[in-house]
Amino acid sequence: MLHSNVLNISFEHHHEIQIVFGDILGIDGIEHFSLDLVNPTGEMLFFSGTPQHAFEICRRGLGKYDGIISPTYYKNFEFYWWSDAAHKAYSDKIKKIREGYLGLRHGFMLVRKWNNFHLIYSFATKKSDPHFQSQVINKINLYLQMGDYAYSRMRETYSIYSGENEPPRIEKFYSFEGGEPPARYTSNFILQNLQERKNSDGLIIVDFNEKKRILVPR
């Protein structure tokens, strides 16, 4: 689900976004970047350097058909092209907005999963460079570093909108692995969960490797 103010947030924080994203835009032909952030309850918002991108798609009633922000993709793929996530029935209409109206091409997403948040980094160019996609694949960790940098700079602002869930701090850079976004946890998150207790019968220990809880008798 989208945050109730999702279409206005990028405009309200335009100056900060312009400063932070300005460090990314222009590198390797990147002309669009946005942070699409999903908290543990499934609520998503955007910080976009091209806010008219989401605005035009949602204004025309196509937001719920935009596959690039679908959990089907961001929960299952650490990397995907916009074109791979297109909704068959609406792909031409959405593509017309992206390429025809905004001039965005070769869009792709990179996904981090920290403390059950999904941090989605969206990139695109306006160039028709046939080598751009190969460049992305060969420099994919560079784009992850760009995304981590932008998120870290915008984290405090994001905390205004994330509700009771504190946005995670990225404590370490992890290289691209592929497949489902690997679950990462901050040291603070682990400590908080290890301290969780279940009445007087036992202590709950969270095994993050096996992704399950173990009840240890007292």
Distance from C-alpha of 72 to C-alpha of 68, rounded to nearest angstrom: 9
Give the model confidence (pLDDT) of 150-183 as tens digits.
999 999 999 998 888 899 999 999 999 999 999 9
What residue ranges define each of the domains in the chain, with the CATH number in brackets? 6-158 (3.30.450.80), 185-217 (no CATH)
pTM: 0.85
Exposed/middle/buried for 178, CB within 10 Å: 0-12, 13-18, 19+?
A: exposed
Q: Report whether 37 contacts 118 (CB < 8 A).
A: yes
Residues contacting 212, CB < 8 A, separation 6+: none
The rounded Cα 61 to chain-centroid distance in angstroms is: 22
Mean pLDDT of the chain: 84
Per the CB < 8 A criterion, the answer to whether 214 and 203 are in contact is: no
Collapsing DSSP states into helix, strand and coil, what is residue 52? helix
pLDDT tens, position by position, 8-59: 688 788 899 999 999 999 999 999 999 999 999 998 988 988 877 777 787 7
